[in-house]
Amino acid sequence: MEQHTVAIIGGGPGGYVTAIRLQQYGIDTVVFEKERLGGVCLNWGCIPTKALVKVADLFSELHHVEKFGLSIENPKYDYAKIYERKNQVVEKFVSGLEFLFKKRQIPVIKEAVKALVKHGDSYLISTETSTIQASYVIIATGSKPKELPTFKIDGENILSSKDILRLQELPERLVVVGGGVIGCEFASIFAQLGVEVQIIEFLPQLISTEDEEISKRLAMALKKTGIKIHLNTAVESWKSANSELQISLSNGKEITTDKILLSVGRAPVFEIECKNFEINIEKDAITINNNFETSQPNLFAIGDVTAKMQLAHTASKQGLLTAEVIKNRVEGNESKIEELRYENIPRCTFTNPEIGSIGLTEAQAKKQYEEILVGKFPFSANGKALGLGNVFGFVKTIADKKSNKILGMHIIGPQATELIAEGAIIIQSGMTIDEALKVVFAHPTLSEAVAESIENLEKMSIHSM
């Protein structure tokens, strides 16, 4: 029987990163991945959608070049070429990852794992054709799109986020059911390419995990692009008639569309039989401790299957820390690591405008602290943003009034998903206002808006009115 020190089930952004780190530590590791390395993120999520985001943003900008003194009449696009480029971007990244595994001599078993068996102090991992033994197992099996009782994904009329990336022609009309990150990103992309888009959201705000002020500003921006937004609204039923889809809403309205994107969240996927042991599962997610270990010793779980925070970089960070735990155990050392604080993991939404956030929202901070400070700075007062011709949005920073410790940062506007890295460093390091302002922010850059929002916590921003 083939034996390895570590077996990783799933080759997505959690699994593949962990495998490489373990190989760097000299720890023998095998990966089970039934499809291609990279998982949903690289093949059907983060990477292909960002390729479309670039095209959509660029096409939208072409319609407003007059303000820069340029002239482009009636810009057009060829979606077949856009589709081809998207696939090329994915192929380059994924094939590069596969080459990296080959160079590092990390074995990949391209089969689905069917069963796990506890075998003394180790585990047996079985596929349809083979069984291997490993001392440590990491479950990184990811998630899948959720469905609604009356809205089942069929790949033709009701699409998942994966299905919509397969479309080789854009529909004239699209209804997005679910105004979370995925739904808003696709709505933004398609609307900028001229599709008539409507968003149906059951909750009172888009992207309910974001600061309320940020969500309201996003809704404002999306409406300006022509997107119709229905908040506090549920979808009740749908039917196909005369090559159209008719949707009945809880507010009594009916809307007609060509395609429906169902984006109401993602459910953890764990379909492996545990033959002679059990692991704790709550709400379909595998429960883990601060060492990412399940209720069974040396059996770990990372990424979406844990439902801690379903982001690719969360899975990667969990995996890297799990590699540390395993390394310490292999070497006979204590395996304790610093607890991963999920609220301090940055959240990025690639709409137009972009959103980047980290830490506590204003509402959360008010609940947890006696008094808070809120500092804001608009991009309309930032020199670089003025030069870019993109001044929509602001940076919002939140701090504890008693200690001056910075608790949260929320950005909507140009390059927000890049700028939030600064907030991540500040908040993860536990900086106070004074400590953060010891940093010199280069001029002229968008990052100066971050600095001025921190200064504004004490009403000391230079360029604020």
3-state SS class at 87: helix
Considering 119, 313, 443, 463, which one is annotated as catalytic? 443
Q: Are 109 and 37 in contact (CB under 8 A)?
A: no
| CA pair distance 9, 128, nearest whole angstrom | 14
Residue reference for tokens 């440590």: 136
Residue 343's alpha-carbon distances to 199, 209, 405, in angstroms, are 27, 11, 15
Containing H/E element for 327? helix 312-330
Cα–Cα nearest to 386, from 460, 463, 290, 459 = 463
Sheet strand arrangement including 196-200: 158-159, 259-262, 173-177, 196-200, 228-230
Structure tokens at 41: 């993120």
DSSP per position, 155-197: SSSEE-HHHHTT-SS--SEEEEE--SHHHHHHHHHHHHTT-EE
* Strand pairing class (281-282; 394-400): unpaired
Nearest of 162, 214, 157, 152 to residue 186 by alpha carbon:
162
Q: Are strands 131-139 and 2-9 parallel, antiparallel or unpaired?
A: parallel
Query: Is 4 labeled as catalytic in the residue annotation?
Result: no
Considering just the CA atoms, what is the radius of gyration of the chain in Å? 24
Cis ω on the peptide bond leading into residue 107 (within 30° of 0)?
A: no
User: How many other C-beta atoms are found inside a 10 Å radius of the C-beta of residue 94?
Assistant: 17
* Catalytic residue ranges: 443
